[in-house]
Amino acid sequence: MTIGIDAFIFLSALLFAIGFGGVLLRKNTLVIYMCLELMLVASTLAFVAFSSFNGTMDGNVFVFFILTVAAAEVAVGLAIIVALFRRRQTVQVDELDALKN
């Protein structure tokens, strides 16, 4: 394969930027959460690329931990969103302004 590591790193940074823009742009808490997951996956792509091009396994093993943390984070975050919806009847971030003023 003639593709260098820089292409993979740029792709991972691009995915991270797309997720970042989505977090700023979107109003729905669930979609914001999906964009956060996108950013996590982009970071795992960078880890795997570095690990593969350096010939070590440490990056690949670290991706295991990132996947575990992401799974736990999604479970807790979605539980918080459900609890929020039960109390406020909305998941739009611009309506969740209880801390304003």
Tell me how far apart the alpha carbons of residues 96 and 93 are, in angstroms, rounded to a whole number: 5
Please tell me the count of residues contacting other proteins according to CB under 8 A. Answer: 72
Instruction: Work out whether 96 is an interface residue with other proteins (CB under 8 A).
Output: no
Closest approach, Cβ 98 to other proteins, in A, equals 18
List the one residue from 81, 87, 98, 101 that touches other proteins (CB under 8 A): 81
Q: Which residues between 5 and 64 bind other proteins (CB under 8 A)?
A: 5-11, 13-28, 30-31, 33-35, 37-38, 41, 44-45, 48-49, 51-58, 60-61, 63-64
- CB neighbour list of residue 84: distance below 8 Å, 6 or more residues apart: 29, 91, 96
List the one residue from 1, 87, 97, 100 that touches other proteins (CB under 8 A): 1
Q: Is 4 left (phi over 0), alpha (psi -120 to 50) or beta?
A: beta
Q: Within a 10 A sphere around the Cβ of 89, how many other Cβ atoms?
A: 8
